[in-house]
């Protein structure tokens, strides 16, 4: 390792820092300032302060939005990690005559979010594939009998999970490829069932990657915009959709509340990651990085 | 083979459904497969004229520009993180990788405010800047791993033999870094090409985008056209990955011989 002085470090990081400064840095700064009623298009009522935040905290509508976003983020992350881990472990040691078959799990990764939402509509919508199947099996007589799961909270969770399962597999495949498979033979020789081997031998090896996938998905899916905008509905909408609707259709005096909601999304992300690193350090005795 | 079939189906199922929707003509409720096949969706694409082509072209252009810009600004930082030790290194690395984690919506409106005042809003350059800012962490990660895999002795040897910094980079480091560059560029391209919200907000409708063109179709009732346009959408990154992969292999082979 070469030692670098502060000047050398700064020179190497300067292009990145400049870009971040004019985009995220300035943008984040303006977002926070406007949430305080500073730099707003029209002067905030009652001057600068935290009134937008106190208004949000007392707003039942916002809390419903917040609950919707956080549960959608957590549920989709849980579903993704559970599904991704199960599939990864089931097919990990199946040999493929064509390696391309084993790479097919990456297909949902390249689907843009808005396409994932569209896929949920054609798969889970009332006129979609699942509804047709349930009609064939005699479970539902008409389209209207099929539950409307493609829209709203369930639709959002399904769309995020469609991509999340692939993402989890991508994350854990790296750990699996480094896994010493002789441990599996040892476990079998000692009489462990495949399930027990999976739970006590393989799972600990992929746990850090799976946990990282969970945290990334829970945070990202909390504040994501494209999918809830398309199929999430608006009464109440997820926090991001609620804030953007207020920005586009609300009064110009509501700007501090819009920006306060966006700041809440950021704080949620920071708090979630911080809580995770704290807990994982307590449990395992060492810090984990995302 | 038989055991992998469910695996394959699981992940290709959405694409199979898109294919069926795109080529299916009459598809009444209750039929598992379309009753007839038609090319209506592709006729809509063929007759869409300049708007679609322009949207596709501009989307490809801003995504490539974001990938190139991300590559240029991440090179010095990645080399630093891979080879140097300095105070606060872990913190810098964590902070610079964070934008990939943070939902873009949290900064986007503030960035728009800044861009409106600096004349970058509603411009191609503004879209490229903001897309780069949200997708460069993937490039930084790929390049840092790439630089770490290059033995530093090679660089020292080249410099001892009298090669300048630029020549060492172009002749020694770049060829070895090529797979990492290809990975980073592919991911940045994909993230930028798939992005709807940021382009719509910062481009303000003035900068055409394929996602913006696609959006009304996805929410509309003409599912056949929506599915056909979606297939066209997915084919662009697939084609690009194929070309990039081939190009990287050819270049690596040429340099090695």
Name residue, tokens 């995020």.
Answer: A160
Q: Is the pLDDT of residue A78 over 60?
A: yes
Contact B101 A273 (CB under 8 A): yes
Q: What is the pLDDT of residues A141-184, one digit of tens each?
A: 888 888 888 889 999 999 999 999 999 998 898 888 888 889 98
Q: Is the pLDDT of residue A286 over 60?
A: no
* A225 lies within 8 A of chain B by CB: yes
Q: Is the pLDDT of residue B14 over 90?
A: no
Contacts of B209 in chain A (CB under 8 A): none
In Å, how far is B156's CA from the nearest CA of chain A?
12
Contacts of A132 in chain B (CB under 8 A): 29-32
Contacts of B205 in chain A (CB under 8 A): none
- Torsion sign (Cα): B199, B204, B208, B214: positive
Q: What is the pLDDT of residues A233-248, one digit of tens each?
A: 877 889 999 999 999 8
Overall average pLDDT of the A2-18 stretch:
91
Overall average pLDDT of the B66-86 stretch:
95
Lowest mean pLDDT among A7-16, A70-79, B88-97: B88-97
Overall average pLDDT of the B120-145 stretch:
95
Q: Is the pLDDT of residue B232 over 80?
A: yes
Residue-wise DSSP of B199-233: HHHHHTTTS--HHHHHHHHHHSS-HHHHHHHHHHH
C-alpha to C-alpha distance for A275 and A79, rounded to whole angstroms: 21
Option in A12, A97, A111 nearest B1 (CB):
A97
Contacts of A16 in chain B (CB under 8 A): 73-74, 77, 96, 136, 140
Task: Tell me which of B100, B103, B155 to substitute to probe the interface with A (most A C-beta atoms closer than 10 Å).
Answer: B103
Cβ within 8 Å of A, B 61-120: 69, 72-74, 76-77, 79-80, 83-87, 92, 94, 96, 99, 101-114, 118
Overall average pLDDT of the A194-205 stretch:
89
Confidence of residue A1 (pLDDT cuts 50, 70, 90): confident
Option in B4, B101, B190 nearest A101 (CB):
B4
* A275 lies within 8 A of chain B by CB: no
* B214 lies within 8 A of chain A by CB: yes
Q: Is the pLDDT of residue A289 over 60?
A: no
Contact A114 B214 (CB under 8 A): yes
C-alpha to C-alpha distance for A160 and A181, rounded to whole angstroms: 32
Contact A119 B29 (CB under 8 A): no
Confidence of residue A285 (pLDDT cuts 50, 70, 90): low
C-alpha to C-alpha distance for B71 and A173, rounded to whole angstroms: 26
pLDDT of residue A287: 52
Q: What is the pLDDT of residues A112-140, one digit of tens each?
A: 899 999 999 989 988 888 888 888 888 88
Contacts of A90 in chain B (CB under 8 A): 7
Q: Is the pLDDT of residue B135 over 90?
A: yes
Task: Tell me which of A65, A109, A226 to substitute to probe the interface with B (most B C-beta atoms closer than 10 Å).
Answer: A226
Confidence of residue B12 (pLDDT cuts 50, 70, 90): confident
* A113 lies within 8 A of chain B by CB: yes
Which run of H or of E encompasses A3? strand A2-3
Q: Return the top range by mean pLDDT from B29-43, B63-77, B224-238.
A: B63-77
The count of other CB atoms within 10 Å of the CB of residue A60 is 8
Name residue, tokens 């809830």.
Answer: A228
Confidence of residue A41 (pLDDT cuts 50, 70, 90): confident
* A259 lies within 8 A of chain B by CB: yes
pLDDT of residue A109: 86
Q: What percent of chain B has pLDDT over 70?
A: 99
Option in A27, A226, A273 nearest B107 (CB):
A27
pLDDT of residue B252: 82
Distance of CA A74 to the CA centre of its chain: 8
Tokens representing A221 are: 């899916």
ipTM of this complex prediction, to 2 decimal places: 0.87
Q: What is the pLDDT of residues A16-30, one digit of tens each?
A: 999 999 999 999 999
Q: What is the pLDDT of residues A47-76, one digit of tens each?
A: 788 999 999 999 998 999 999 999 999 999
């Amino acid at each position: 390792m070469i030692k670098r002085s502060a000047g050398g470090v700064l020179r190497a990081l300067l292009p990145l820092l400049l870009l971040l400064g004019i985009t995220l840095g300035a943008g984040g700064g303006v977002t926070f300032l406007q949430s305080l009623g500073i730099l707003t298009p029209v002067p905030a009522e009652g001057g600068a302060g935290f009134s937008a935040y106190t208004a949000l905290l007392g707003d039942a509508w916002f809390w419903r939005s917040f609950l919707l976003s956080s549960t959608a983020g957590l549920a989709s992350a849980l579903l993704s990690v559970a599904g991704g881990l199960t599939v990864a472990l089931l097919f990990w040691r199946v040999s493929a005559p064509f390696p391309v078959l084993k790479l097919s799990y990456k297909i949902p990764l390249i689907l843009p979010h808005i396409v994932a939402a569209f896929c949920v509509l054609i798969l889970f919508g009332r006129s979609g594939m699942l509804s047709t199947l349930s009609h064939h099996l005699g479970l539902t007589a008409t389209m209207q009998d099929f539950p409307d799961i493609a829209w709203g909270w369930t639709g959002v969770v399904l769309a995020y999970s469609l991509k999340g399962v692939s993402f989890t597999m991508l994350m854990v495949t790296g750990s699996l490829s480094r896994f010493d498979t002789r441990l599996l033979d040892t476990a079998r020789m000692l009489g462990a069932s495949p399930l027990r081997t999976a739970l006590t031998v393989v799972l600990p090896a992929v746990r850090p990657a799976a946990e990282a996938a969970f945290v990334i998905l829970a945070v990202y899916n909390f504040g994501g915009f494209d999918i809830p905008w398309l199929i999430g509905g608006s009464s109440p909408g997820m926090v991001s959709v609620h804030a953007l609707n207020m920005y586009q259709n609300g009064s110009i005096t509501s700007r501090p509340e819009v920006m306060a909601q966006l700041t809440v999304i950021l704080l949620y992300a920071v708090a979630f990651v911080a809580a995770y690193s704290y807990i994982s350090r307590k449990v395992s005795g060492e810090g984990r990085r995302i | 083979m038989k055991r992998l079939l469910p695996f394959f189906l699981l992940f290709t199922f959405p694409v199979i459904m898109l294919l069926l929707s795109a080529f299916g003509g009459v598809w009444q409720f209750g039929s598992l497969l379309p009753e007839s096949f038609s090319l209506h969706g592709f006729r809509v694409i063929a007759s869409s004229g300049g708007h679609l082509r322009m949207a596709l072209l501009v989307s490809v252009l801003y995504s490539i520009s974001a990938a190139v810009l991300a590559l240029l600004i991440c090179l010095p930082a990645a080399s630093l993180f891979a080879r140097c030790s300095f105070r606060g290194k872990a913190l810098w690395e964590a902070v610079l990788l964070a934008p990939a984690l943070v939902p873009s919506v949290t900064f986007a409106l503030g960035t728009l405010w800044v861009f409106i005042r600096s004349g970058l809003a509603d411009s191609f350059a503004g879209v490229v800047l903001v897309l780069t800012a949200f997708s460069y962490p993937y490039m930084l990660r790929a390049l840092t791993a790439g630089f770490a895999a290059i033995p530093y002795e090679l660089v020292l040897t080249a410099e001892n033999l009298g090669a300048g910094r630029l020549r060492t980079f172009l002749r020694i480091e770049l060829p070895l870094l090529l797979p990492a560059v290809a990975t980073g560029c592919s991911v940045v391209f994909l993230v930028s090409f798939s992005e709807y919200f940021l382009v719509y907000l910062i481009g303000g409708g003035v900068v055409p985008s394929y996602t913006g063109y696609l959006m009304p179709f996805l929410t509309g009732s003409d599912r056949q056209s929506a599915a056909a346009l979606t297939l066209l959408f997915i084919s662009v990154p697939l084609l690009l990955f194929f070309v990039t992969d081939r190009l990287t292999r050819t270049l690596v082979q040429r340099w090695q011989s």
